[in-house]
């Protein structure tokens, strides 16, 4: 459910909205960072004004208008050079290496940045994808008949999925896709409903994972752990895991399932909420049914080079489009959520799938951390457990984590000014982890005594 809310919730209001009783420079900096991610917000506004243009066109209009929504909107109306894109075909091309811009010779990260401002580069092969994005891709992940059974299981349930709602300009807006949230047991579903907070409130629809989802989850777990090890070995500096990344094996215990019914259903640029996953989270994403485009964009640090005359930041880079066919597993690695944003683009046309017809179903397997249960995390002045965010833009504090009030994400509800830097150890565990480990050990001993 964090999937589509995050980009729209940014308010246009200035820092006065964030009331800080004792202002500290750092806090101001962090809030500024939140505001400066406004490209996505501007895109959301443009999209609502020009529903017939795709996101790529909107972004292009925004870029040539130096970030002014008004100018971009006029340009879209009057400038024939930014017409709605020609029919987008989910076509094929050979790997990038045929254009001599492929991955480094023996695998590993690419030396050159691939994207250019305002442009979209389409990637198809696993080698290109892992070299140029923080993702790895496994095509034909499951035996075909298993993928079909799993798809059918989800299709049967998908009519009951719901649309999320969020606030845009103080108006309640509905998401352009449906979703459902699954956990491993009904007991855990009950805990999710009563103890966890999403976008400032409790959720009422949490279900037990379906039989095939659970069965496949074991295969996803094995594949993702292998990919994590390979990523560390071949891509990370010194072959070591990233700071804050968990050294433990990845074990999925929750799954968000998204359903995109028809070419228009989409989700805008966002990063997934880290509140319960913790820093440097890894997510395994299995695509079924209609092939759609997954777009990723790297966030640039605040820098004068990218600063516009009005003080706002431009996007220094274009976007990369990864094609997600039926039965493909995409691993979003540990560097993804903090440094990149992703989206599912609306399409001009889709190829219907023999079983799913116009639908794409997508299971995102995630690993919730026990130590980030809301009973441990800081509460804001509204009494609500806070949301964990990462500074994506601002120089100096970029990469730092913060706990913030998110009570105002609920339509009709005001939030407070709560802000606190979030601290984690090398392995991404919060300061209270040692204590809780002690308590768990004691509890374990008590159980043994009984």
Exposure b/e, 294-328, CB count within 10 A at least 16 = b: bbbbbbbbbeeebeeeeebbbbbbbbbbbbbbbbb
Which of 336, 345, 407, 410 touches Zn ion by CB under 5 A? 407
**What are the CA-CA distances from residue 32 to residues 37, 406, 410 (Å)?**
9, 16, 22
Minimum CB distance to Zn ion, residue 407 (Å): 4
Rounded CA separation 352/273 (Å): 31
410 makes contact with Zn ion (CB under 5 A): no
387 makes contact with Zn ion (CB under 5 A): no
Name the one range near Zn ion by CB under 5 A: 303-311, 332-340, 359-367, 416-424: 416-424
Minimum CB distance to Zn ion, residue 372 (Å): 18
Which of 63, 379, 416, 436 touches Zn ion by CB under 5 A? 416
415 makes contact with Zn ion (CB under 5 A): yes
Minimum CB distance to Zn ion, residue 30 (Å): 16
- Pick 332 or 405: Cβ nearer Zn ion: 405
Name the one range near Zn ion by CB under 5 A: 118-126, 310-318, 339-347, 400-408: 400-408
44 makes contact with Zn ion (CB under 5 A): no
Q: Is the dihedral of CA 94, 99, 103, 105 positive or negative?
A: positive
Name the one range near Zn ion by CB under 5 A: 71-79, 100-108, 359-367, 411-419: 411-419
Exposure b/e, 344-368, CB count within 10 A at least 16 = b: bbbbeebeebeebebbbbbbbbbbb
Tell me how far the alpha carbon of residue 422 is from its chain's centroid.
20
Give yes or no for a contact between 296 and 269, defined as CB atoms under 8 angstroms apart: no
- Pick 321 or 377: Cβ nearer Zn ion: 377
Tell me how far the alpha carbon of residue 131 is from its chain's centroid.
19
**Backbone conformation region of residue 340, classed left if phi is above 0, alpha if psi is from -120 to 50, else beta:** beta
- Pick 141 or 409: Cβ nearer Zn ion: 409
- Pick 304 or 414: Cβ nearer Zn ion: 414
Rounded CA separation 56/318 (Å): 9
Instruction: Count each helix (H run) and each strand (E run) in the chain, helices first.
Output: 10, 16
Minimum CB distance to Zn ion, residue 17 (Å): 13
Name the one range near Zn ion by CB under 5 A: 59-67, 155-163, 189-197, 418-426: 418-426
Rounded CA separation 369/247 (Å): 13
Map residues 309-348 to x or -, x wherever contact with Zn ion holds by CB under 5 A. ----------------------------------------
Rounded CA separation 246/252 (Å): 13
Q: Which long-range contacts (CB under 8 A, 24 or more apart) does 147-150 make?
A: 147/288, 147/326, 147/327, 148/355, 149/212, 150/212, 150/213, 150/216, 150/288
Map residues 344-383 to x or -, x wherever contact with Zn ion holds by CB under 5 A. ------------------------------------x-x-
405 makes contact with Zn ion (CB under 5 A): yes
Minimum CB distance to Zn ion, residue 422 (Å): 16
Name the one range near Zn ion by CB under 5 A: 43-51, 149-157, 391-399, 406-414: 406-414
DSSP 221-273: HHHHHHHHHHHHHHHSGGG-PPTT---SPP---EEEEEEEESTT--EEEE---
Minimum CB distance to Zn ion, residue 416 (Å): 3
Residues 50-109 that bind Zn ion (CB under 5 A): none
Name the one range near Zn ion by CB under 5 A: 93-101, 202-210, 261-269, 409-417: 409-417
- Pick 216 or 407: Cβ nearer Zn ion: 407
Name the one range near Zn ion by CB under 5 A: 77-85, 240-248, 345-353, 405-413: 405-413
Rounded CA separation 137/67 (Å): 33
Q: At what angle do helices 69-78 and 38-49 cross, to 10 degrees?
A: 40
- Pick 199 or 302: Cβ nearer Zn ion: 199
Minimum CB distance to Zn ion, residue 32 (Å): 19
Binding site for Zn ion (CB under 5 A): 380, 382, 405, 407, 415-416, 418
């Amino acid at each position: 459910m964090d999937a589509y809310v995050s980009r729209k919730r940014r308010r246009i209001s200035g820092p006065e909205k964030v009331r800080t009783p004792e202002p500290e420079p750092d806090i101001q900096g962090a809030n500024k960072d939140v505001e400066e991610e406004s490209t996505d917000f501007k895109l959301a506004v443009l999209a609502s004004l020009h529903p017939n243009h795709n996101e790529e066109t909107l972004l292009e209009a925004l870029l040539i208008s130096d970030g002014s929504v008004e100018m971009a909107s006029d340009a879209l109306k009057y400038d024939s050079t930014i017409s709605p894109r020609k029919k987008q075909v989910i076509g094929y091309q050979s790997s990038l290496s045929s254009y001599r811009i492929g991955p480094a010779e023996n695998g590993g990260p690419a030396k050159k940045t691939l994207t250019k401002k305002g442009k979209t580069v389409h990637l198809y092969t696993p080698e290109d994808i892992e070299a140029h994005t923080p993702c790895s891709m496994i095509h034909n992940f499951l035996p075909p008949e298993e993928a079909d059974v799993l798809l059918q299981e989800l299709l049967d349930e998908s009519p009951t999925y719901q649309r999320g709602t969020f606030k845009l300009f103080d108006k309640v807006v509905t998401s352009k896709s449906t979703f459902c949230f699954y956990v491993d047991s009904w007991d855990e579903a009950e805990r999710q409903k009563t103890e966890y907070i999403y976008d400032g409130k409790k959720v009422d629809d949490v279900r037990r994972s379906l039989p095939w989802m659970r069965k496949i989850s074991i295969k996803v777990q094995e594949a993702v752990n292998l990919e994590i090890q390979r990523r560390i070995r071949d891509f990370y500096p010194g072959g070591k895991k990233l700071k804050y990344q968990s050294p433990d094996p990845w074990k999925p215990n929750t799954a968000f399932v998204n359903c995109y019914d028809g070419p228009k259903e989409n989700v805008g640029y966002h990063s997934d909420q880290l509140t319960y996953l913790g820093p440097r989270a890894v997510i395994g994403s299995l695509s079924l049914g209609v092939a759609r485009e997954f777009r990723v964009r790297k966030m640039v640090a605040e820098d004068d080079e990218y600063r516009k005359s009005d003080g706002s930041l431009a996007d220094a880079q274009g976007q990369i489009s990864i094609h997600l066919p039926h039965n493909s597993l995409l691993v979003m690695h540990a560097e993804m959520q903090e440094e990149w944003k992703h989206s599912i683009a609306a399409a001009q046309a889709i190829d219907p799938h023999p079983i799913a017809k116009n639908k794409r179903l997508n299971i995102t397997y995630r690993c919730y951390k026990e130590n980030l249960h809301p009973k441990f995390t800081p509460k804001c002045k509204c009494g609500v457990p806070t949301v964990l965010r990462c500074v994506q833009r601002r120089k100096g504090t970029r990469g730092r984590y913060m706990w913030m009030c998110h009570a105002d994400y609920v339509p009709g509800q005001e939030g407070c000014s709560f802000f606190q830097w979030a601290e984690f150890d090398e392995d991404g565990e919060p300061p209270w982890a040692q204590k809780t480990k002690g308590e768990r050990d004691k509890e374990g001993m008590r159980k043994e005594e009984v």
